[in-house]
Amino acid sequence: MTATLLQGCQSTQSLKPNPLESSKLKTQIAAEYIRTGDLNLAKQSLDEAIAQDPSNSQANMMMAVTYQIDGGAINQKKADSFYKRAISLDPKDPQIRNNYGQFLFTQGQYQEASEQFEIAGNTIEYFNRTFSLANLGQCYIKLNQFAKAEAAFTRALRLDKNTSSAIVGLADLYYQQGKTNLAYDVYHDYLNLTDEKTADANGLIVGIRILSKTGNRTEAQALAELLARKFPSSPEYSEYRSKYRF
């Protein structure tokens, strides 16, 4: 998101700034600072946005994101507090629910995260609902509720068959259930959707897990080399080095 500063016509009388519009603008500016990694300036803009309009749910959500990215136990508690405040201000906003679910997932609170993803995924007008459903499936895997996980992934793919996170999630689910051939078939849908630029670390390691079982060493080696080039510091690459090393 980028903010555009508009200059009005000159007047003999000074115009009083609209605090609500100013709060929205500062929230947009903060989002751009977050995108570029300048969390200090992002927080300054959000402090001003919330001071101008304490009911600005988006500003409270973005403040939560800022603290979440910055890390540390104290900041994670602050992030949780701002997410809860954002939800209290706009409980029907699916983006806030999805973001809070992602935060809770990183904290290992899978049941609580699933509740947020379910709300977001059931919001028909939410443009990212398929990703929320894919996230819901990941929560159910963590909770060992495999039937619910499969239903969530399948629903996401019914809405959009090209939802790569749902494809990878479903393939990984089948792998964990010992359905290796089915996992392999599903995973190839992911390979057909992605290339070296769009492949992510999770998608690559899931493929390596599956291919290590099916004996497709050439394919597995290609994925491992891509994982090493793109994500050498990732937990997924560490898993590859410790368990596979073709």
- Give the pLDDT confidence score for residue 246 in this predicted structure: 62
Structure tokens given for 117: 């993803």
Rounded Cα distance between 37 and 132, Å, is 25
For the chain, what percent of residues have pLDDT higher than 70? Answer: 93
Average pLDDT by stretches of 10, the chain with 246 residues: 34 63 90 91 93 94 94 94 97 96 96 97 95 97 97 97 96 96 95 92 96 90 95 95 81
Conformational region of residue 9, where left means phi above 0, alpha means psi within -120 to 50, and beta covers everything else: beta
Q: At what angle do helices 146-159 and 129-142 cross, to 10 degrees?
A: 170
Instruction: Quickly tell me which residue has 């050498």 as its tokens.
Output: 232
This prediction's pTM: 0.85
Q: Give the tens place of pLDDT for each residue, 1-26.
A: 333 323 333 444 445 678 888 899 99
CA distance 154 to 166: 8
pLDDT for residue 230: 96
d(CA 124, CA 12): 49
The secondary structure of the chain, three-state, reads: CCCCCCCCCCCCCCCCCCHHHHHHHHHHHHHHHHHHCCHHHHHHHHHHHHHHCCCCHHHHHHHHHHHHHHCCHHHHHHHHHHHHHHHHHCCCCHHHHHHHHHHHHHCCCHHHHHHHHHHHHCCCCCCCHHHHHHHHHHHHHHCCCHHHHHHHHHHHHHHCCCCHHHHHHHHHHHHHCCCHHHHHHHHHHHHHHCCCCCCCHHHHHHHHHHHHHHCCHHHHHHHHHHHHHHCCCCHHHHHHHHHCCC
Q: How many residues does the chain have?
A: 246
Query: What pLDDT score does 15 carry?
Result: 55
